[in-house]
Structure 1
Amino acid sequence: MNKTLFKLHSWMALIAFVPLLVICVTGSILVFKHEIDALLIADKVRVDAAGRERLDLDTLATSVNSNFPGYEIVGWALFQDRDRADLVYTMQHGTDEWTYALLDQYTGEPLRPPMGLTHHLTDWLLDLHYTLLVGDWGMLITSVFSILLCLLGISGFILYRKFWKNFFTLRWNARLIVYFSDLHKMTGIIGAPILLVLGFTGAWWNITHFAHELEEHAGGAEHYKMAERLYNDELSLQALMDDTAKRVRNIEATYISFPWEPGANFTFWGDVHSGNPLLSQYASNVTYNAQSGEHMVSYDIREASLGAKIVDSYRRLHFGDFAGLVSKVIWCVIGLSPLMLSVTGIYIWSRRREKRRNARVKRRGKRLAIPAVG
């Protein structure tokens, strides 16, 4: 069984080698996406919050609409880091492409006009990570490789299930293949639990998103092209956000979904600070009618089922931000472990393949050397 499983493990690793390296390395980098942005484009993503209060949403929305009249707001990210600029998703009239602008929430001044979702380096890396730059079908492809990552972790655990006997053994003075074998086992066992989490949560997200896209656009239905404002311009966005606190106790709005197609409404997503570090900052929500402003439905994650809480935790578990800097560093380092596993694994595989080939040649030579009888 071990021999067959080892072959399966090896072939899965060879098939997934390049895509998994791309996915894992970009994922490790993206753990610190905002920190990288703050180094490269600080004037676009950082603001000075000292001693200032953010303007009300209506004033900010008016600033966006007046500065970019050819666009409609379709989403609004309000970050819990007060020094982080608001990110406003937009859609240009006549298109179905999402773009985003950056806004100083204390002055209403745009810091960056609407641009494509892959304009900056880390945005491009994010698209590479999730779709391998091939759109919606890319999400399905990355899901397959995420599943392969899970299978590699599981098969590795089975192959090295007695790892605890020599867990911290690295035979430094041994042949290179022996040293690489020890290093491969140690790296795999340490990284496997987190890589399993990353693989499973990544596959879950991409598969569900891809399935949603298929359902939404079954039969060849095209994406809606923005033609006009899809909500009542007389509604007060600030009043709606203030009302969310009456619907869900202690909610802090972190993202506002605006109508992006006919029939869509306003949904305020937020953090309820439950004390559970794995619940995401978008776990609860309140929805209002886009025309009348009437409250439609509220969802409090604290009152949800255990299954719903587990699914919501996938976000924190995938990004690794549930314990601040400590968990982010661990996720970043473990995310790079497939690089080490690939180098050591390919070397081990190639040397064993060479050894088998030499053994076959040797056996063939012996058969040819035996004189014919009779």
Structure 2
Amino acid sequence: MNKVLFKLHGWMALFAFVPLLVMCVSGSILVFKHEIDAALMHDQVRVGVDGRARQSLDSLLGDVNRSFPDYEVVGWTLFQDPGRADQVFLMPHGSSDWFYTLLNPYSGEILAQPQNLTHYFTDWLLELHYTFLLDDTGLAITSVFSILLCLLGISGLILYRKFWKNFFTLRWNARLMVYFSDLHKMTGVLASPVLLIVGFTGVWWNITQLAYEVREHAAGKEHYKMEKRLYSDKLSLQALYQRAGQSVDGFEPTYITMPWEPGVNITFWGDVPSGNPLLSQYASSVTFDAQSGDLVAAADIRDAGLGTKIIDSYRRLHFGDFAGLASRVLWCVVGLSPLLLSVTGLYLWIRRRDKRRAARAKRRRLQAAAA
């Protein structure tokens, strides 16, 4: 059994070698996405607070609409870090593509012209991480390799299930193959829990997104191309923001969904004080009718069932931000472990292959001599 599993583990690793490196290394880097953005484009993603209050959403929305009359606002990120610029998602008239601009919420200043979702380095890296830059086809491909990542972690833990006997043993004076074998086992066992979490949550998101695309756009149905504003100009976004805060106790909006196609309402997603570090900052929501402004629904994650809370925790678990800087550093370091696992695993596979070839050649020579 172990021999079969060992071979399967090796062949899966060889097959997934390059894609998993791309996914894991890019994911590791993206743990610090905002910090990288701040280093590369500080004046666009960081704003000075200086004791100022945010302008009203109505005023800011007006600034965006006047600055980009050929676009419609379809989403709005309200970061909990007061020093971050707002991220406003836009859809141009006659298109179904998403763009975004960056906005100073204290002055209303537009900090960046609308750019597509892969324009900036870390956005391009994020798309590479999730789809290999292949859109929906890429989602399917990364789903397959995320499943392989989980299988590699599970099979490795089974193969080395007695790891605790010599867990931290590295035979430094042994030949390189033995040392690499020890290093591979130890790194794999230490990294497997995190890699399993990251792999499983990635699979869940990708498959969920694929299922949505199939359901909404099956049989060649195209994405809606923006023609006109899909919400009433009479609505006050600031008033809806305040009503959202009153609808769920302690609710802090962090993202606003605006209509991007007919039938979509205005939804405020946000955070609530729960004492559970795994619940995301988008766990609760309040939805209003996009034309009348009437309350449609309010969902408090604290009142949700266990299954809903577990699924919501996938966001924190995937990005590793549930325990602040400590968990982010851990996720970043573990995300780089496939580099070491690939190098040691590939070396061991080549050496074992060479040994098998040498053994077969020796048997042939002995058989020829005996004949």
Q: Return the TM-score normalized by structure 1.
A: 0.99
Q: Residue type of the partner of 2:322? A: F
Please tell me whether the aligned partners of residues 23 and 129 of structure 2 are also in contact (alpha carbons under 8 angstroms): yes
Structure 1 counterpart of 2:242, which letter?
D
Q: Are 1:272 and 2:272 matched, yes or no?
A: yes
Partner residue of 1:74? 74
Letter in 2 for 1:3: K
Deviation at 1:180, TM superposition (A): 0.2
**Residue 352 of structure 1: how far off its partner (Å):** 0.5
1:231 alignment partner in structure 2: 231
Structure-2 separation of matches of 1:306 and 1:249: 20
The list of structure 1 runs, each at least 4 consecutive aligned residues, that deviate by more than 6 angstroms after superposition, is none
Q: Secondary structure at the match of 1:113?
A: coil
- The residue number in structure 2 matching 1:175 is 175
* RMSD after superposition: 0.5
Matches of 1:274 and 1:41, distance apart in 2: 34
Output the amino acid matched with 2:177: I
Shift of 1:247: 1.2
Count of matched residue pairs: 371
List per-residue Cα deviations over 1:290-335 (Å, max 9, x = no partner). Answer: 0000000011100000010000000000000001100000000000
The Cα shift of 1:50 comes to: 2.0
2:273 and 2:361 map into 1 onto residues whose CA distance is 67
Cα displacement (A) at 1:137: 1.2
1:139 equivalent in structure 2: 139
Q: For residue 321 of structure 1, what is the aligned residue in structure 2?
A: 321
Pairwise CA distance, 1:108: 0.5
- List alignment gaps of at least 5 residues for structure 1: none
SS of 2:113's equivalent?
A: strand
Query: Aligned residue for 1:36?
Result: 36
- The 1-side partners of 2:257 and 2:346 are apart by 46
- Equivalent-residue separation in structure 2 for 1:365 and 1:278 (angstroms): 63
Which amino acid letter does the alignment assign opposite residue 45 of structure 1?
A: V
Secondary structure of 2:111's match? Answer: strand
Measured in 2, the distance between the counterparts of 1:171 and 1:131 equals 40
Given the two structures, how large is their TM-score scaled by the length of structure 2?
Answer: 1.00
Question: How far apart, CA to CA, are the structure 2 residues paired with 1:56 and 1:141?
Answer: 43
Which residue is equivalent to 1:2?
A: 2
SS at match of 1:217: helix
Report if the CA contact (8 A) 1:137-1:210 is conserved.
no
1:201–1:314: 8 Å Cα contact kept in structure 2?
A: yes
Deviation at 1:273, TM superposition (A): 1.9
Identity of aligned residues (%): 68
**Corresponding position: 1:240 with 2:240:** yes
| DSSP-derived class of the 1:277 partner | coil
Deviations 1:241-266 (A, max 9, x none): 10012211110000000000011100
| Aligned counterpart, 2:53 | 53
**What is the identity, as a one-letter code, of the residue corresponding to 1:306?**
L
**1:165 alignment partner in structure 2:** 165
Deviations 1:211-270 (A, max 9, x none): 101110011110000010000011000000100122111100000000000111000000
CA distance in 2, matches of 1:189, 1:50: 48
Aligned equivalent of 1:206: 206
- Listed as ranges, the matches of 1:97-112 within 5 Å are 97-112=97-112
Please say if residues 172 and 179 of structure 1, whose CA atoms lie closer than 8 Å, have aligned partners that are also in contact.
yes
**Structure 2 unpaired stretches of 5+:** none
CA distance in 2, matches of 1:263, 1:202: 29
Partner of 1:363: 363
Partner SS for 1:122: helix
Distance in 2 between residues matched to 1:273 and 1:87, nearest whole Å: 24
Q: How many Å separate the matches in 1 of 2:148 and 2:174?
A: 31
Separation in 1, partners of 2:272, 2:232? 28
Residue type at the aligned position of 2:305:
S
**Partner of residue 296, structure 1:** 296
Q: Is the 2:245–2:253 Cα contact (8 Å) retained in structure 1?
A: no
Task: Determine helix, strand or coil for the equivalent of 1:111.
Answer: coil
- State the alpha-carbon separation in 2 of the partners of residues 216 and 243 from structure 1: 31
CA distance in 1, matches of 2:302, 2:97: 35
Corresponding residue SS for 1:267:
strand
Structure 1: distance between partners of 2:80 and 2:301: 19
Counterpart CA distance in 1 for 2:266 and 2:61 is 14
1:90–1:114 Cα contact (<8 Å) kept:
yes
Deviations 1:141-174 (A, max 9, x none): 1011001000000000000000000101001111
8 Å CA contact 2:171–2:179 kept in 1: the answer is yes
Output the CA distance in 1 between the equivalents of 2:290 and 2:73: 13
**2:119 equivalent in structure 1:** 119
